[in-house]
Structure 1
């Protein structure tokens, strides 16, 4: 070791490796989990129907490192009525998609989003 600074022709600079900034960022901070366009279409179709019926008023989308969450509110200042979550780590086990209520109880879970969203379909009633 010497006390001299490293110059372009010195041995230590030849050993340095150039790393792409995008590769470094991907390895350092993985991209957050997001809903894809088709998933959002299915969710917003249900949301639009429920807004039309006057049951839901507001929503929020959160994109976290391990999950994506679509929260539905009756009023914007309250706790969410429902949370539609996508957790890719559970895709091979219980299914990546789930719907939970205000208390955190999972109402439905599965591998396919349209199947999970059927929890919001209303049962038809026979009227006399």
Structure 2
């Protein structure tokens, strides 16, 4: 026997997090400038239950050199943006532009 479920009750608790148009304009703007300079070559966008991730690659086959994560924690109304490089946190802010400013400064990853 079939059971009737209301979609509003079926949806998961919590909200999914995505980059909006303004976020993507900022991220792709700095990305395109670095591609034109020949520094970055690829990017990826990933979505998880409470975060959206924009990863930047020097080469497609390697791990991301920079990652911008938009995280929405329980109880928060505003997302937090976190800039990571090789799993090290560089900058965290509620304003994406502050995180982008760090990326715009000629950042380079030094290989060890």
TM bucket (normalised to shorter chain) is: 0.7 to 0.9
The TM-score normalised by the length of structure 1 is: 0.70
User: What pairs with 1:1-128 in structure 2 (closer than 5 Å)?
Assistant: 19-20=5-6, 22-26=7-11, 28=12, 30=14, 32-89=16-73, 96-102=80-86, 104-122=87-105
Is there any run of 5+ residues in structure 2 with no aligned partner, and where?
Answer: 107-112
Segments ≥4 residues shifted beyond 2 Å: 28-32
Task: Return the structure number with greater strand share.
Answer: 2
Q: Deviations over 1:63-118 (max 9, x none)?
A: 100210000001111000000000011895xx60011002x111111010011111
What secondary structure sits across from 1:45 in the alignment?
helix
What secondary structure sits across from 2:53 in the alignment?
strand
Q: Which has the larger radius of gyration?
A: 1
Task: Return the structure number with greater helix share.
Answer: 1
* Higher RCO (C-alpha 8 Å, min separation 6): 2
Query: 1:25 deviation in Å?
Result: 3.3
Is there any run of 5+ residues in structure 1 with no aligned partner, and where?
Answer: 1-5, 7-15, 124-128
What is the RMSD of the two structures over their aligned residues, measured on CA atoms? 2.5
